[in-house]
Each structure stands twice: as C-alpha cells, then as structure tokens.
Copies of this chain bind each other. A is one copy, B any other.
C-alpha cells in the first residue's frame, strides 16, 4: 500500500474520534459579533492552537486589536527543496445562533443524526461554517503525520476569529506578517461542493462595491396636502434615479460601467453549459422563474460572470401602520454592485455618484456614504496547483471536479492576492442546504469524511 492509502485508512479508522474533536470545538460558542462571547472566542483560539500543536505544528496565538489569529507552521526538514509551501485558511468564529426558538436542538450541543433521507448529519452552529470545514484539513494533516511522520509539503495554517464580523483585523495582520504568510498558493476551506456527489473548486468570485445615497429635498418633512404639487418629493427623485440604473434589457446604464468587462471565453462558456445548472430549480426554490439580469447572457453568466447593481435597502418617510400625510425631507437607498474582473470598484463608485448627481433637480442634494469595496477575483485556469487539486478530488469522489464561479465575494481571497501575491484555491465540502447563518445549521458526516480524505489526496498531489 502507498503512503496515501495508509493515510486514507488512518482517516477512516479514526473518523469518529475526529468528529468528537469537532464536537469539542463546536461546544465553544465563539460568536465574534457579540462582545458577550469574547471569552469563548479566545477559548476557541486556544483550542485550535493546542490542536495544531498536538497534530505536529509549531503554533501560537497571535493577538490583534480584535480577536486573535492562530498561526501554525509545519516545515519538515527532509522535504525536497522545491516542495511547495501552502497556506491554509479557515475561521474559528461563528455566526450568532438566534433565533434560538427555531433550532430543533441546542445550537452549541452538536448531535449526529441520521434523518429519514438516510443521510447522517451533524447539527450545530458552526458544524459547516467553518468549524467542520477547517477541521477536515486539520484531521487530514493529523493522519498524514501519524502515518508518515510529517506532511509531504510545507504548510502554514492561518485561523481567523473575526470572519463573521467582517475581518476588521485581517488586512493589518497580513500586512505586518507578509513574509511569514506568503506561500506558493492558499487553500481556503469555506465554500460548497457542486452537489453532494460532485466536488468543486471555486475559481471566480465577484467583487463588490457598496454605496449609500441620500437625496434631500425639502429642509423638513412637509404636509403632503399643504405642499403636495409644488414640493419636490425626494422619494420621487430617488426612485427615478434607481429606476434609470437599468434599461429594459436589464443592462446597467451608468456610463462606462462595462468598460474593461471581458466576455467569458468560449471554452468556459461551453464548460458551464455542460454543467446543466438547474437554474429553474435554483430560482424556483425562492419563488422566482425569470432570470432578471442582462437578457443577452445565459443565466449562469448573469450569476457568475456579469456585474450587477442591486438595492439592498431603501427607506424614506412614514413606514408604520396606516397613513401619514408627509412629503419627507430625505430618501435613502443602500446599493451594492457586484463586480467582475476588469472593473475598478472605486471607479464604479465615482461613476455611480456622477450618475446620481447628473439626475438631481437643482433644489435637491445628494450625499453619499461609501461602505466596503473589493475587486473581483479569478484564479487563472493555468495555475499549476489548480488542476492537481481538482484531479485529486475527482479521484476521491469518482466524479469530475467542477470549476465553478460564485456570485458572491470572499474578501480573504482578494486579500491574499493583493497583499501576499498568492492565488487561492477555494475548496470546500459544504452543501447548499447546510443552512449556514440560519437555525439548524448542519454538515453532512459524508462532507466531513470525504473532505478530510480529499485534503489527504490534495496534500499528496500538490507535493508531486
């Protein structure tokens, strides 16, 4: 038997003990958004550090102005000189558990349950996002080192404790520790498989630009009877501007918005068409049926490869029960643009603001409050590690690994690219129905088992 076979057997033999360890971590309610759980976050960081040391890493808690990072190194001396150096990223913090009354079991008391669908699942907050996911990698390393004495590659591990709070300390930490954390490639375990049977690597993430606009008309709220007809209503101004942002074909009308946006290459388009993405079911599950984006593009491209403009919130005037005869002074909309490679978030922000100002009646004003902005990310398909990792996973699952897009942003991947000049392989074993961020979050035992086995294979493959 090869070393890898022995590692895989070791994983299988100890899977229940591995899941017990996951349960230990889950029981620590490390909710980073709630100051009441600060001690729990630190306890989870300690747990992670101790576990890394136990596995065979040189690990330490690394303070930040917020929750600490955990950094571990495993650098075997007897590796070939050109053995790659991998950075693995996961996060030990979790989302709040409320609404508690919607949970079938207490969120921080994990249970293993085989449901009527005959699928065994682990129910708990963090079971999937991200404690279950990050532990697949740790347990793969454990089995490798138990069998082989060391990993076949150099590995640095970075666990963050503020991912669910917007990662306020991350940028500075990467900056300050760039030399220590720069590797050949990053592995990020926080994404989904294509489906329960099909592994996936996410190679495209959209960027995002958040902005908030407030239109001010009258200097105070007015009586809509006494002033209605002559007084400019900022809701009318704002809704007109928002409506103008899209044409009838779903195209965004901001001048220059599509400058630099490249078409999806024909081979990628063909590959995506071959995926037979169940768009009808995807939309049907949320009560929709008509793709709402640019009519000229296939729906999957609307989702993965085309930029968007969405209002995330709008508010003005009286919004309680019944009526109030008011012409409000102000109207506000929060908008976000999902961006693709070739678009500069800050240039888009400026173009949006110009678009608004160009449409402003002379007695109204617009003020803006810019929030986060990040560029889109594409892992080049010729990245030397990408195909090796994909093949290793294909072997584990007996099915071709899907190279997929994701319409959302994963800022850490962008930070790794921008600060550490590293591509990221986004490899995860979560499923669409894992209910992350919601009550009754779960992780399939099969996700955990095959995830751990996949990492064992990937470590081997990237060493070669």
User: Most chain-B Cβ atoms within 10 A of its Cβ — which of A243, A244, A314, A338?
Assistant: A314
Name the interface residues of A75-128: CB closer than 8 Å to any CB of B. Answer: none
Q: B311, A229: Cβ atoms under 8 Å?
A: no
Q: A206, B225: Cβ atoms under 8 Å?
A: yes
- Output the least CB separation between A193 and chain B (Å): 15
Name the interface residues of A231-257: CB closer than 8 Å to any CB of B. Answer: 231-233, 235-236, 238-240, 242-244, 246
A308/B243 contact (C-beta < 8 A), A210-B323, A323-B372 known:
no
Partner of A299, one of B206, B230, B333, B363: B230
Which of A268-276, A289-297, A349-357, A391-399 contacts its partner? A289-297
Q: B229, A302: Cβ atoms under 8 Å?
A: yes
Which of A16-24, A36-44, A405-413 contacts its partner? A405-413
- Output the least CB separation between A332 and chain B (Å): 8
- Output the least CB separation between A238 and chain B (Å): 8
A325/B292 contact (C-beta < 8 A), A225-B206, A313-B319 known:
no
Whether A328 is near chain B, meaning CB under 8 Å from some CB there, is yes
Q: B323, A371: Cβ atoms under 8 Å?
A: yes
Q: A289, B226: Cβ atoms under 8 Å?
A: no
List of B residues within 8 angstroms of A306 by Cβ: 229
List of B residues within 8 angstroms of A371 by Cβ: 322-323
Whether A4 is near chain B, meaning CB under 8 Å from some CB there, is no
List of B residues within 8 angstroms of A319 by Cβ: 313-315, 332, 334
Question: For the complex, what is the distance from the CA of A384 to the CA of B223, rounded to whole Å?
Answer: 32
Per-residue B-contact encoding for A307-326, CB less than 8 Å = 1, 0 else? 01011111111110011111
Whether A224 is near chain B, meaning CB under 8 Å from some CB there, is yes
Q: B299, A327: Cβ atoms under 8 Å?
A: no
Name the interface residues of A189-241: CB closer than 8 Å to any CB of B. Answer: 206, 208, 210, 216-220, 222-233, 235-236, 238-240
Name the interface residues of A323-345: CB closer than 8 Å to any CB of B. Answer: 323-328, 331-334, 336, 338
Question: For the complex, what is the distance from the CA of A206 to the CA of B229, rounded to whole Å?
Answer: 11
List of B residues within 8 angstroms of A409 by Cβ: 225
List of B residues within 8 angstroms of A314 by Cβ: 235, 239, 314-317, 319, 331
Q: A308, B229: Cβ atoms under 8 Å?
A: yes
A224/B331 contact (C-beta < 8 A), A240-B243, A290-B232, A338-B229 known:
no
Whether A288 is near chain B, meaning CB under 8 Å from some CB there, is yes
Whether A463 is near chain B, meaning CB under 8 Å from some CB there, is no
- Output the least CB separation between A414 and chain B (Å): 13
A288/B232 contact (C-beta < 8 A), A338-B224, A407-B225 known:
yes
Write the residues of chain A forming the contact surface with B, with a CB cutoff of 8 angstroms.
Answer: 206, 208, 210, 216-220, 222-233, 235-236, 238-240, 242-244, 246, 279, 282-283, 286-293, 299, 302-303, 306, 308, 310-319, 322-328, 331-334, 336, 338, 361-363, 371-372, 406-409
8 A-B pairs (CB sep. < 8 Å): A220-B287, A222-B286, A224-B338, A230-B292, A290-B363, A312-B326, A314-B316, A325-B408
10 nearest interchain CB pairs?
Answer: A225-B408, A219-B287, A313-B317, A243-B243, A229-B302, A235-B311, A239-B242, A239-B239, A313-B318, A229-B293
